[in-house]
Amino acid sequence: MSRRKLAAGNWKMNGTGAALAELETLIAGHADPDVEILICPPATLLYRAAQLAANAPLQIGAQDCHPEDAGAHTGDISAAMLADAGATHVILGHSERRENHDESSELTRAKAKTAISTGLTAIICLGESLTQREAANTLDIIAGQLSISVPDASTAENTVIAYEPIWAIGTGLTPSVAQIDEVHDFIRTRLVARFGPQIGNGIRLLYGGSVKPGNAAEIFATDNVDGALVGGASLKAADFSPIIAALEASA
Ligand code: 13P
């Protein structure tokens, strides 16, 4: 089954208005319909980013949402608010939220259900720590996170899974291609077993963790890698563009 490639940038807590110039450079440089480009800026930039990207082949996503539709939750942002600001996607269950805010797979699933019912595409993140990998627990950890974090409502259109080994995030370390291949194949098999071949083979799988212009091509050559979720190297168009180009070349 052919799946549309996705190059997604997660700006995390980086960027003020001046960073929007990077989006203009990206928009000017890419027009391959086989590769979807997504930037997830901080919430404060969502509206302006979405305005700038309107009618351009660049989508704008958020980095988190609250599981409830509305209510007394000071400082939180609902999925409907994100959509209203122009977001089409939302990253959920990122390891930085799991670690820094004690977020569980159960909470990630609740957020994903709300995001999906609001019309957003949920990008659900999974990944093992270095200790878990060294103890040969990677596939067990991934299986647990996957089965709990992904809601029954998931389809190929409304859900993307990102495999992000925690030890590879922001460290410059990456798993070997064989290790990425093993985990992505495992996730694919599990999705097919749970959702059937149509949905299970349709959900896109991204790799994330120290993706750079120099390693993107070999990562994208892996069978079940449908794109990347990129942190640091998505902040500057000069770094993200060659990653997108590597994905375009693999499409
Ligand atoms: P880096 O690309 O900076 O390692 O971050 C990956 C990530 O966490 C994307 O969500």
Domains (range + CATH), the chain: 5-250 (3.20.20.70)
Alpha carbons 147 and 123: distance in angstroms, whole number: 15
Which one of 89, 96, 164 would you pick to mutate in the ligand 1 pocket, going by the greatest count of ligand atoms within 8 A of its CB?
A: 164
What percentage of the chain exceeds 90 in pLDDT? 96
**Residue 246 scores a pLDDT above 90:** yes
- The amino acid at residue 231 is G
CA distances in angstroms from 224 to 108, 109, 200, 202, 248, listed in the order given: 23, 23, 12, 11, 16
Write down the pLDDT at residue 33. Answer: 87
How far apart are the CA of 69 and the centre of ligand 1, in A? 28
How confident is the model over 12-23, as pLDDT tens digits?
Answer: 999 999 999 999
Ligand 1, CB cutoff 6 Å, lining residues: 10, 94, 164, 169-170, 208-211, 229-233
Determine the average pLDDT of the residues in 67-89: 98
How far apart are the CA of 165 and the centre of ligand 1, in A? 10
**Nearest ligand 1 atom to alpha carbon 208:** 6
Residue 162: strand pairing partners: 125, 206
* Residue 204: both structure tokens together: 């896109």
Residue 59: strand pairing partners: 38
Write down the pLDDT at residue 68. Answer: 98
Average confidence score pLDDT of the chain: 97
Closest residue (by CA) to atom 5 of ligand 1? Answer: 231
Closest CA to 112 of 95, 89, 128, 96: 89
Cβ contact 200:194 at 8 Å: yes
**Nearest ligand 1 atom to alpha carbon 162:** 10
How confident is the model over 41-69, as pLDDT tens digits?
Answer: 999 999 999 999 998 999 999 999 999 99
**Nearest ligand 1 atom to alpha carbon 232:** 3
Closest residue (by CA) to atom 9 of ligand 1? Answer: 231
How far apart are the CA of 211 and the centre of ligand 1, in A? 7
How confident is the model over 87-127, as pLDDT tens digits?
Answer: 999 999 999 999 999 999 999 999 999 999 999 999 999 99
Write down the pLDDT at residue 206. Answer: 98
Write down the pLDDT at residue 251. Answer: 85
C-alpha dihedral sign at 176, 169, 61, 46: negative
Write down the pLDDT at residue 102. Answer: 96
Alpha carbons 173 and 192: distance in angstroms, whole number: 30
How far apart are the CA of 71 and the centre of ligand 1, in A? 31
- Catalytic residue numbers? 94, 164
Q: What is the pTM of this model?
A: 0.98
Write down the pLDDT at residue 179. Answer: 97
**Nearest ligand 1 atom to alpha carbon 168:** 4
Alpha carbons 230 and 211: distance in angstroms, whole number: 6
Q: How confident is the model at residue 242 (pLDDT cuts 50, 70, 90)?
A: very high
How far apart are the CA of 19 and the centre of ligand 1, in A? 18
Write down the pLDDT at residue 20. Answer: 98
Q: How confident is the model at residue 32 (pLDDT cuts 50, 70, 90)?
A: confident
Write down the pLDDT at residue 2. Answer: 84
**Residue 165 scores a pLDDT above 90:** yes
Q: In angstroms, how far is the first alpha carbon of the chain from the final one?
A: 13
Write down the pLDDT at residue 31. Answer: 85
Alpha carbons 42 and 11: distance in angstroms, whole number: 7
Determine the average pLDDT of the residues in 164-175: 96
Q: How confident is the model at residue 244 (pLDDT cuts 50, 70, 90)?
A: very high
Write down the pLDDT at residue 116. Answer: 98
Which one of 6, 100, 230, 243 would you pick to mutate in the ligand 1 pocket, going by the greatest count of ligand atoms within 8 A of its CB?
A: 230
Determine the average pLDDT of the residues in 195-208: 98
**Residue 174 scores a pLDDT above 90:** yes
Which one of 210, 234, 239 would you pick to mutate in the ligand 1 pocket, going by the greatest count of ligand atoms within 8 A of its CB?
A: 210
Cβ contact 41:8 at 8 Å: no
The DSSP code sequence of 65-117 is -BSSSSSS-TT--BHHHHHHHT--EEEES-HHHHHHS---HHHHHHHHHHHHH
